[in-house]
Amino acid sequence: MTAAKFTAKPAMDTDAPVASITASSPVNRVAEVSRSTAETRVSVRVNLDGAGQARIATGIGFFDHMLDQIARHGLIDLRIDAAGDLHIDGHHTVEDVGIALGQALRQAAGDRAGIRRYGWALVPLDAALARVAVDFSGRPGLVMEAAFTAGAVGGLETQLVREFFQALVNHAHITLHIDSLRGGNAHHQIESLFKAFGRALRMAVEFDPRAAGQVPSTKGVL
């Protein structure tokens, strides 16, 4: 496998300029990341203070649908374009999207001063029930318990859900606990997880009006 190369650059959209990330300027929590390897080319743009708008194209329809859930329920604007070696399988594409999205989330969050830091959600989808808790701790960690009832959904191998979240937490430097508590339909199981992650993410990156400018840690840094 060829060593990955990536570059991160400020967003160039005139309607959402990038400035220093502070608790007093939430509209500027924007980051853009490009990643290119011999296996994939991925670009991601994130606005943490968006309206839930998404433009996503990875070549895997169900994966696109799940990423859209993060944007919609997280109320973040998300643009993802990915071209990968799907003639082999979806692994490299899914993992590298997770890497680039994690990097963008980390950059957009800045020093994390003034945010709530913790977020959680319990989301039902028909018979499925998902629980997600996130900590913008500065430390990567994933605990995931999910026994999916099918091996693939809409071109996405269900085992790649873990690979996506593992790549994301490694590069966003967040701690994430994910549990699929019940469900008989794999589509609903996975969708409830992504919706719950979006909701938990939204809570964690929101600014706490009682802690403006304060880093939410006794260490003074995250």
Query: Would you say residue 221 has pLDDT above 80?
Result: no
Would you state the pLDDT for residue 5? 41
Query: Sorting pLDDT into bands at 50, 70 and 90, what band is 219?
Result: confident
Length of the chain (residues): 222
pLDDT, tens only, 73-131? 999 999 999 999 999 999 999 999 999 999 999 999 999 999 999 999 999 999 999 99
β-sheet bridge partners, residue 84:
40
H/E stretch holding 71 reads helix 61-74
Q: What's the average model confidence in pLDDT over 217-222?
A: 72
Domains of the chain: 5-211 (3.30.230.40)
Query: Would you say residue 2 has pLDDT above 60?
Result: no
Query: Sorting pLDDT into bands at 50, 70 and 90, what band is 175?
Result: very high
Contact between 84 and 39 (Cβ < 8 Å): yes
Contact between 99 and 171 (Cβ < 8 Å): yes
Give the residue among 34, 135, 122, 109 at the shortest CA–CA distance from 73.
Answer: 122
Query: Would you say residue 3 has pLDDT above 50?
Result: no
For residue 58 the two structure tokens come to 């990875």
| Cα–Cα distance measured from residue 36 to residue 126, given in angstroms and rounded to the nearest whole number | 39
Q: Amino acid identity of 193?
A: L
Query: Sorting pLDDT into bands at 50, 70 and 90, what band is 156?
Result: very high
Would you state the pLDDT for residue 179? 98
Query: Would you say residue 197 has pLDDT above 90?
Result: yes
Would you state the pLDDT for residue 54? 98
For residue 11 the two structure tokens come to 């967003």
Would you state the pLDDT for residue 72? 98
In Å, how far from its chain's centre is CA 160? 14
Helix (H, G, I), strand (E, B) or coil at 62: helix
Q: What's the average model confidence in pLDDT over 32-45?
A: 98
Query: Would you say residue 17 has pLDDT above 60?
Result: no
Rg over CA atoms, the chain:
17
| Cα–Cα distance measured from residue 44 to residue 154, given in angstroms and rounded to the nearest whole number | 22
Contact between 87 and 212 (Cβ < 8 Å): no
In this structure, the number of other CB atoms found within 10 A of the CB of residue 35 comes to 23
Helix (H, G, I), strand (E, B) or coil at 199: helix
